[in-house]
Amino acid sequence: MNKKNVKKGLLPYALLLIVMLVIYYILTVGSFKVNDLTYDVFLLEIKAGNVSEVVITPSSSEGTYNITGKLKSYDENESFSVKAPLTDTVVSQIVAIDSELNYKIETESDPGSSPLLFILLNILPIVLLVGVGFWFFSKQMSSAGKSMDFGKSRARLNNDKNKVTFKDVAGLKEEKEEVKELIDFLKNPKRFQKLGARIPKGVLLVGPPGTGKTLLAKAVAGEANVPFYYISGSDFVELFVGVGASRVRDMFKQAKHNAPCLIFIDEIDAVGRQRGTGLGGGHDEREQTLNQLLTEMDGFGANEGIIIIAATNRADVLDPALLRPGRFDRQVTVNLPDVKGREEILEVHARNKILAPSVTLKNLAKRTPGFSGADLENLLNEAALLAVRSNKEQITMKEVDEATDRVLMGPAKKSKKYTENERRMVAFHEAGHVVLGLKLNDANDVQKVTIIPRSYAGGYAMMIPKEERYTSTRKELIEQITGLLGGRVSEELNFGEVTTGAHNDFEKATKIARSMVTEYGMSDLGPVQLEHQEGGVFLGRDYNKSKNFSNEVAHEIDLEIRKIINECYENAKKILDEHKDLVKLIAETLLEYETLTKEQIEYLVKNGCMPEEENYDDNTLDELKEKAKEKGIKGYTKMSKEELKDVLKDEE
């Protein structure tokens, strides 16, 4: 260490010590006035009766008596001090005079005879004052150092003992294959160097929220068993220009010292947005940070052992310089899971949960299209919370159904009261959706229907595609629109009146119809794309659509959209008019039971009534086990009678 720096570091503490000693002197000595008297003068003052009190303290180290006291003429903070020889005659003289004048006299033991007392009285106060001052000053210096520590990297090193591996990442088979090369490189870089291969410097994970981008990055670091630095894009941006760039430099400096390693930047769009867009204003700090990030990534050696993984939901707003070869060489799209992926994700999140035999993850995966991994984890967690709330020992299908509804629509508002007319309107509205779902081959399938209000909806029908597909035909889109219009048509046919309950249905139907006309080329206007999404970074969603048509064509678009909607509306009216009795049956059953599942709807359509609920109260435990065996329920031999009742009811 530099001696000059050491001296500079000790100087403040030396000054502090001097200040503390001065303060101690002022407090202990400077505030009192002490008059030094000779022993002869002291005796004269005693004989004259001017002394009010005397304290005699022997000092063996000095060979004297230290005599202190006060004269009657002194102020409160004034005293005298006398040095006398350490002989018996001194004490006898003072005592003899005391017997005549009767003034106050005290004697103290020799402090030199008690080292501990001497330290406590003379040294300890100084040590305490210096210690308190040193602590206060060092604390101020450390906080000042932190306040000036702008340029240090905010990247945190992940030292979790329970590292995430690919076993914890489900439903991302292709995505894991894409990043396996990174793991091989981090483990054995010489294998790539031998053939002159250049591993990607950066990998950009793109996808909707909750699909497992961060989890995948952690799994790469866990599989490679290398240091894993993680930071958010917003951690770079500060009030002062240049701070973010300094943090980028420091982050890469730390990474180079710990290579091979992995850096994960979450939400990189916070700092990597396009430069020079002109709209929304420029942010010098953000652009300086982005420039430094580009420079550092470009300045890597061919195989320095540092790999950057970044995640974003908005790859379209990133600066093109970030995406060029040599920086983020590879983009991995992390999509929403398909039915097989959802089943695998559910199996991962169900490891620490006790599920009833009636809960089949395969069936649950089929009922949750469009759910991300985070949504599925939340669904099982909500089901577990509901089971605990009901004091159950395991999670049954009842809790899973309720949890699905809560995730999609929010908690049920059972306290909300309808008028009888409103309940009937809602029941017939939802029955219209159900009947069209049953009668149209390509319409969405109704999994569940209820008239219990949730969120802003008075009731709802859970409609999912019969099959998960990547593309849709014109017929499928037309029948989806027809199914969405079923609620309004049912209200009109059965009550001769309409309500506002179909506004969300109209929103979805109109969006599909407009896309058919302007994007998919499925109208009389021909196979022309009239609208497409622009990449305006700072513009709102409504301004992002580029309209490549005239006012006359805009009028034709409106006519085509209206034509599609009207045709679907008339088709829905025709179908529901032909099946009025079925609509009424489902609506009346909804008014009685409030909620119907897909299985109950199918039984109702086939038999014209609801299946009778079997009463298991009169059955013995052996009879319940026999019925559970017939239904193929696993683990029934270890269940109690009450558990078997719940499982059998759920199975129905």
Q: What is the dihedral of CA 392, 396, 400, 402, to 10 degrees?
A: -60
SS3 string, 593-629, reads HCEEEHHHHHHHHHHCCCCCCCCCCCCCHHHHHHHHH
Amino acid at 117: L
Token pair 């700090």 is at which residue?
A: 285
- Coil, strand, or helix at residue 205? strand
What does the DSSP 8-state code read for residue 633?
-
Q: What phi, psi does 153 have (nearest 5°)? A: -70, 140
Q: Which residues of 378-409 are buried (b: 16+ CB within 10 A; e: fewer)?
A: bbbebbbebbeeeebebbbbbbbbbbbbbbbb
Strand partners, 461: 449
Stated as kind and residue range, the H or E segment containing 105 is strand 104-107
Half-sphere exposure of 601 (CA within 13 A, CB side): 28
Is 505 exposed, middle or buried, given 0-12, 13-18 or 19+ CB atoms closer than 10 A?
A: buried
Name the amino acid, one letter, at 290: L
Report the chain's terminal Cα–Cα distance, integer Å.
79
CA dihedral 454, 457, 462, 468 (to 10 degrees): -110
Contact 270, 234 (CB under 8 A): yes
430 is known as an active-site residue: yes
Max CA pair span of the chain: 136
Please state whether the peptide bond connecting residue 260 to the residue before it is cis, i.e. omega within 30 degrees of 0: yes
Q: Which distant-in-sequence residues (6+ apart) come within 8 Å of 350 by Cβ?
A: 361, 380
The answer to whether 78 and 35 have CB atoms below 8 angstroms apart is yes
Contact 406, 462 (CB under 8 A): no
Name which of 589, 564, 382, 391 is nearest 484 in CA terms: 564
Under DSSP, the state recorded for 123 is I
Catalytic residue among 223, 430, 479, 491: 430
Q: Which two tokens stand for residue 31?
A: 């505030």
CB-based contact 455:402 (threshold 8 Å): no
The burial class, CB within 10 Å (0-12 / 13-18 / 19+), for 492 is: middle
Outline where 196-283 has alpha helix (H).
213-224, 243-257
Catalytic residue annotation: 430
